[in-house]
Amino acid sequence: MVNRILKILLLAALIMMVFTSYGCLESKEPKQIEIDPGDISAYEFSVPEGKFTNSSTFFLYTNKTVRAIYTVVNAPRLEVVVPKDISGVKSEKGPGIDNLVIIGNTGNSMVFSGINEFSNISHNVSYSESSQNKKIQFEFADTINGYVAYTYYWEQGLFYHILSRNETVNVVLPEGYDTGNMIFGPTKPKPDTKRLDEQNRIWLVWDNPNPEHQLIQVKYYKSSLPTIMGFVGLVLLVAFFVTAIYFKNEIRKLHKKREIIEKDKDN
At 79-105, the pLDDT tens digits run: 999 887 665 555 556 788 999 999 999
Better-predicted residue by pLDDT, 137 or 267 = 137
Give the 3-state secondary structure percentages of the chain, helix then strand then coil, rounded to 5: 25, 35, 35
Categorize the per-residue pLDDT at 249 as very low, low, confident or very high, splitting at 50, 70 and 90: confident
State residue 3's pLDDT score: 52
State residue 236's pLDDT score: 67
Residue 215 pLDDT exceeds 90: yes
Rounded Cα–Cα distance for residues 267 and 198 (Å): 83
Helices and strands: H and E segment counts in the chain? 2, 14
Helix (H) or strand (E) holding 56: strand 55-60
Categorize the per-residue pLDDT at 224 as very low, low, confident or very high, splitting at 50, 70 and 90: low
What is the DSSP annotation of 169-224? EEEEPPTTEEE--TTT--EES--SEEEE-TTS-EEEEEES-TTT-SEEEEEEEETT
Residue 60 pLDDT exceeds 70: yes
User: Smallest Cα–Cα separation from 171: which of 147, 191, 151, 185?
Assistant: 191
Residue 240 pLDDT exceeds 80: no
Rounded Cα–Cα distance for residues 71 and 167 (Å): 9
Helix (H) or strand (E) holding 257: helix 225-266
Segment 192-213 shows an average pLDDT of 94
pLDDT in tens, 40-51: 999 999 998 888
Non-local CB neighbours of 210 within 8 Å, separated by 6+ positions:
163, 164, 165, 166, 167
User: Smallest Cα–Cα separation from 191: which of 213, 174, 158?
Assistant: 213
Least confident interval from 24-28, 155-159, 178-182: 24-28
The CA distances from residue 88 to 64, 96, 130, 155, in Å, are 9, 12, 18, 8
Mean pLDDT of the chain: 82
